[in-house]
Structure 1
Amino acid sequence: MKSKDSGNSSTKLKNTLKNALIVSCQPVSGGAMDDSPYVVGFALAALSAGAAALRIESARYVAAVRAATGAPIIGLIKRDLDESPVRITPFLDDVAALAQAGADVIAFDATDRVRPVTVEALTQAIRAAGKLSMADCSCIDDARRALATGADFVGTTMSGYTGGPEPVDPDISLIAELRQLTPNVIAEGRIRTIEQAQAAARAGASCVVVGSAITRTEHITAWFRDALNEAYEPAPVVLAVDLGGTKTMASLVQGGEVLDTVVLATDRSGSPEGWLAAIADATTVWHGRYTAAGIAVTGAVRNGMWRAMNKATLGIEGEFPLVACATELLGVPVVAANDAQAAAWGEFKATSDGSDLVFMTVSTGLGGGIVSGGRLLQGVAGHFGQMWGPSGDNVPLESRICGPWIAAEAKRQGHECEPREVFSAADAGDAWAVAIIGGVARRFARLCCDIQLAIDPARIVIGGGVGLAPGFLDKVKAEILAIGPSAMPELRAATLGPRAGIVGIADLAL
């Protein structure tokens, strides 16, 4: 039976560890720091910076640290046993040694494996020594059994270490599960970043243990070395294709830089098989230079299948197995996405602020892409051109906001010309051209205002032959000012120009 003073001491210690950072000062065995002065130095440095407690391995190091500070210490002893996989404080003698050395909390392996001493016996021995116990668990069942024996704390220390490949990230979900059993949850294991520590706290951990990321110089050095080696390795070369309704662009891309490009006209009367064959023929000279391919197409791509959203742009009957056919034809792994979505991703990767964006390309059609929370939304997300306009004539918006409509409207008024010639005529002040371009800008401005209200992106990036035509963006901005919307969209010209889709699909391919 616990004395009143013992109970008060336990409560005080638990309060000290609540919402706290615990630093594990365990040097690499046999490493340059594996000596008492270094362990004590790490411990005092951690405490001076705000750590509330320490996790120390071996009775020798616990005693050395205890002589230097009165801060709470979680003590443990590691052993490599032939007859059991249990390594953390496997024996009752270990409990006695740690208690004598000055540990306040004694940690032990609480996993359900072959073991020299039962979990219940260890818990009772720790309590008899007047110390608190920490059960290092691998799963929710370990914690249930440990708590049933009277363990004071349960930790996630053993998650990922009882078989199979070692995970990279901490087990945040286990923290949340343990929190349903007890408020005394200690998060430990593979917590290497500030964000991971915060995630552990938000999942319900009473306190968080960080070890290697703070006190193991060898591990931290290796992490940075590996990261730099990866950065300094030559980036893989990707065959990136932007298959549009008017032209097809194929490029070799390495690390976001376009190395070489070929452009060919898209035979709109052809078929997907024919378009892929034309791409393969045009890029034969590059075969062997790239290790992956990305294909951006007009229309929707889901699970590798391609279908038309507007057959007037490219006529595709039913669904076409784009990824499978392209992989067989090119002989490398292939990723496919909608062209505007790929361009949205390219623009997102090309900018440094990382803010959410909507990308819209106004060209043969009207496409779009959305990057939200740093993630590209795929499927049909961003197909703004397929939305219905306010005219009530049951035609999608892109039928009146695109290059073909500009040319068709000019022809209807007796002017046989391409969209760029209509823009030139508008710049020259020709009334018929001013009216055509003004109408497109007005409709597009309303769409931008609607998108701002629906999605509220930090910016709307405009690309495409029409979108980037001289003066068009200024006309759209003027129309938005005239509307005076309650939420003003921030319009920007695409920084990558016509390369946005190429750069974006190349990155997605990797």
Structure 2
Amino acid sequence: MLDSRLRGTIVSCQAPADSPLHDAYVIAAMAQASVLRGAVAVRIDSPEHIRAVRDRLPDTPIIGLWKQVLPDSEVYITPQFHHARSVAEAGADIIAIDATLRPRPGGERFSDIAKRVREELGKRVMADIDSIAAAIAATEAGVDIIGTTLYGYTPQTQHLKPPGFELLAEMVRRLDGFLVCEGGIASPDMAERAIAIGADAVVVGTAITGIDILVDRYCTRVDAARRST
């Protein structure tokens, strides 16, 4: 039933830590505005923000995560089980976890964390992957929601530019389960293309809620144009 509710547009409501928008009230307002305009679910970072969104949107599916930069590891999206537990306790329905093949902090394996999330916390897992190998491994771990979230954002894929349409197409050909296109969706045309390829849902973030980045892009171009005239 939750899978069917997730089919459509999911909005990632996040903001840089140094932004005035990085405030639980603001994030919850962005999430509510997104749902009022048709978003089927929201993707939210940190227990504090998840709680604020859950209070405002008691019935909306929340994909929760907790970005944590830890020493000696490149993995930062819900890197350990105790982070997943905090996200679940805050009110998330689905826990998004880095499911790339990189070593995890503390030696935990993704498959073990995913199993504990399902069995101990009673939550579903969204595997954030960067490659078909990671997607296959996530499928073998029993995950039924897989997103192209980290395509282009890991050392192994940094030469590639999201959205990962080719990766998505390969996932559609080779995998069963609920497939999400996330990362680099910068226009409605791109979102429509992802669905045409076979994605069950599309996550849009910066193009909708990334005010800091979007304003910076406009100002950079306008200032450059002014200097050239």
Q: TM-score, normalised by structure 2?
A: 0.92
Give distance in 2, aligned partners of 1:36 and 1:63: 8
- Moved >6 Å (runs of 4+): none
Alignment-derived partner of residue 171 in structure 1: 164
CA contact (8 A) 1:173 1:203 kept: no
Provide, for residues 16-67 of structure 1, a one-character-per-residue CA deviation record: whole Å limited to 9, x for no partner: 112x100001111121111111011100111111101000001111111111
Query: What is the one-letter code of the residue matched to 2:62?
Result: I
Residue 140 (structure 1) aligned with residue 132 (structure 2): yes
Residue 65 (structure 1) aligned with residue 53 (structure 2): yes
SS at match of 2:198: coil
Correspondence list, 1:459-470, <5 A: none
1:42 to 30, 35, 41: 30
SS at match of 2:126: strand
2:85 to 77, 83, 96: 96
Give distance in 1, aligned partners of 2:191 and 2:180: 11
Provide, for residues 112-152 of structure 1, a one-character-per-residue CA deviation record: whole Å limited to 9, x for no partner: 11113211111101211111110000000000001101012
Question: Cα distance 1:55–1:227, how it changes in 2: closer, same or farther (>3 A)?
Answer: same
CA contact (8 A) 1:54 1:74 kept: yes
Q: Report the alpha carbon displacement of residue 233 of structure 1 after superposing the two structures with TM.
A: 5.8
Q: Report the alpha carbon displacement of residue 232 of structure 1 after superposing the two structures with TM.
A: 4.7
Correspondence list, 1:391-430, <5 A: none
Provide, for residues 250-287 of structure 1, a one-character-per-residue CA deviation record: whole Å limited to 9, x for no partner: xxxxxxxxxxxxxxxxxxxxxxxxxxxxxxxxxxxxxx
Residue 109 (structure 1) aligned with residue 114 (structure 2): no
Query: What is the one-letter code of the residue matched to 2:208?
Result: I
Alignment-derived partner of residue 114 in structure 2: 123
Give distance in 2, aligned partners of 1:172 and 1:136: 15
Q: Report the alpha carbon displacement of residue 162 of structure 1 after superposing the two structures with TM.
A: 1.1
| Consecutive unaligned residues in structure 1, runs of 5 or more | 1-11, 236-510
Residue 85 (structure 1) aligned with residue 85 (structure 2): no
Q: Report the alpha carbon displacement of residue 228 of structure 1 after superposing the two structures with TM.
A: 3.1
Give distance in 1, aligned partners of 2:221 and 2:169: 30
Provide, for residues 399-443 of structure 1, a one-character-per-residue CA deviation record: whole Å limited to 9, x for no partner: xxxxxxxxxxxxxxxxxxxxxxxxxxxxxxxxxxxxxxxxxxxxx
Query: What is the one-letter code of the residue matched to 1:123?
Result: A
Question: Cα distance 1:223–1:194, how it changes in 2: closer, same or farther (>3 A)?
Answer: farther
Alignment-derived partner of residue 207 in structure 2: 213
Query: What is the one-letter code of the residue matched to 1:63?
Result: R
Q: Flag the structure with larger Rg.
A: 1
Alignment-derived partner of residue 218 in structure 2: 224
Give distance in 2, aligned partners of 1:143 and 1:47: 29
* Coordinate RMSD, CA, aligned: 1.7
Give distance in 2, aligned partners of 1:136 and 1:15: 20
Give distance in 1, aligned partners of 2:171 and 2:217: 30
Correspondence list, 1:424-503, <5 A: none
Q: TM-score, normalised by structure 1?
A: 0.42
Query: What is the one-letter code of the residue matched to 1:124?
Result: K
Provide, for residues 70-109 of structure 1, a one-character-per-residue CA deviation record: whole Å limited to 9, x for no partner: 2000000011111211000111111111111111110000
Give distance in 2, aligned partners of 1:136 and 1:23: 15
Give distance in 1, aligned partners of 2:224 and 2:159: 21
Give distance in 1, aligned partners of 2:217 and 2:149: 21
Alignment-derived partner of residue 21 in structure 2: 33
Query: What is the one-letter code of the residue matched to 2:34?
Result: A
Provide, for residues 271-327 of structure 1, a one-character-per-residue CA deviation record: whole Å limited to 9, x for no partner: xxxxxxxxxxxxxxxxxxxxxxxxxxxxxxxxxxxxxxxxxxxxxxxxxxxxxxxxx
Q: Report the alpha carbon displacement of residue 13 of structure 1 after superposing the two structures with TM.
A: 0.6
CA contact (8 A) 2:130 2:150 kept: yes
Give distance in 1, aligned partners of 2:204 and 2:221: 21
SS at match of 1:182: coil
SS at match of 2:202: strand
CA contact (8 A) 2:144 2:177 kept: no
Q: Report the alpha carbon displacement of residue 226 of structure 1 after superposing the two structures with TM.
A: 3.2
SS at match of 2:127: strand
CA contact (8 A) 1:154 1:178 kept: no
Question: Cα distance 1:233–1:199, how it changes in 2: closer, same or farther (>3 A)?
Answer: farther
2:146 to 139, 148, 154: 154
1:17 to 6, 17, 34: 6
Identity %: 36
Alignment-derived partner of residue 193 in structure 2: 199
CA contact (8 A) 2:79 2:98 kept: yes
Give distance in 2, aligned partners of 1:229 and 1:204: 40
Give distance in 1, aligned partners of 2:208 and 2:93: 22
SS at match of 1:79: coil
